Amino acid sequence: MGQAVTSPPEWRRRAVESTQPAPPAPSGGPTEMDALTAEAWDSVDHAAAARLRDLVWDQPEDVPGVRTGADTYVLAHAGPQPFATLGWATALLANRFEAQGDEADLAAATELHDLTAALGDAVWESPDNAPVALGAATLYAVTGEQAFLATVERLADLLCEVQPLSELGASILVACADLVEPRLAMEAEAEAEAAAAAQAAAASSANDG
């Protein structure tokens, strides 16, 4: 994947130009994964989250895609699919890990992100898939893993090109900026400290010589 075209300041500017963002939240949907995500979103519902984690891990080997319920799937390489379902669930699980520190939530969120990213080009071609960016941004905020940032940037680049941008798309751009910027700042500070330490070590070595 190439270098990102846009960055968090551009995400904020594009969102403000489009509409006043509302806080992102899943609206629910027809599948078991949608229902469990919505059920656990605004409450500490451990039972719903546990069922969601079980669903993430209970994937059939003979279906090219992600199972989201008893008879529902988001298929790979099959054109537009409800990828947003997977994004909302990823965000919910990553949020729970950040709030409660349960490694099972982080493992399931990571697995679902990776499954989603492997579903084909259609994931990256529609602004309707903005929740996938939110899930990845939440994972990046808590882990610093570059693969998650790459997902956010790829979809944010797409959203910044959309005219008009929906209220949901705008709210997710702002939420992604809020999640990504602190981690980027932390990484920049760590890089600066490492560079300063390397320079000090080099200067000390030169003086000793």
pLDDT in tens, 98-147: 999 999 999 999 999 999 999 999 999 999 999 999 999 999 999 999 99
Q: Are 6 and 156 in contact (CB under 8 A)?
A: yes
**Residue at 15 is within a domain:** yes
How far is it, in rounded angstroms, from Cα 128 to Cα 83? 8
Confidence category of residue 29, pLDDT binned at 50, 70, 90: confident
pLDDT tier, 44 (very low <50, low <70, confident <90, very high otherwise)? confident
Concatenating the DSSP letter of every residue in 1-44 gives: ----S--HHHHHHHHHHH--PPPP-----SSHHHHHHHHHHTS-
Mean pLDDT, the chain, rounded, equals 92
Q: Which two tokens stand for residue 55?
A: 């669903």
In-domain check, residue 2: no
Stronger pLDDT, 172 or 201, i.e. the higher one? 172
| Residue at 3 is within a domain | no
In this prediction, residue 199 carries a pLDDT of: 81
Asked if residue 155 belongs to a domain, the reply is yes
**For residue 195, what are the domain limits?**
8-208
The residue-averaged pLDDT of 43-53 equals 89
**136: burial class by Cβ within 10 Å (0-12, 13-18, 19+)?**
buried
Q: Which band of pLDDT confidence, cut at 50, 70 and 90, is reported for residue 3?
A: confident
DSSP state letter for 70: S
Does the pLDDT at position 69 exceed 90?
A: yes
CA dihedral (140, 88, 76, 144) in degrees, to 10, reads 0
Tell me if 1 is assigned to some domain.
no
**Separation between Cα atoms, residue 163 and residue 180, nearest integer Å:** 23
In a domain, 103, yes or no: yes
**What whole-number distance in Å separates Cα of residue 150 and Cα of residue 51?**
29
Give the pLDDT band (50/70/90) at residue 1. low
Total domains, the chain: 1
Residue 153 resides in a domain: yes
> Between these two residues, 177 and 205, which has the higher pLDDT value?
177
Sign of CA dihedral 69, 71, 74, 75: positive
Residue 203 confidence (pLDDT): 74
According to the model, what pLDDT value does residue 173 have? 96
Report d(CA 19, CA 42) in Å as an integer: 24
Predicted confidence at residue 56, as pLDDT, reads 98
Looking at per-residue pLDDT, the higher value among 97 and 205 belongs to: 97
Enter the tokens of residue 102.
Answer: 């349960």
Q: What is the pLDDT of residue 209?
A: 60
The answer to whether position 120 is within a domain reads: yes
H helix or E strand, kind and range, residue 67: strand 65-67
Angle between helices 167-208 and 8-18 (to 10 degrees): 160
pTM for this entry: 0.92
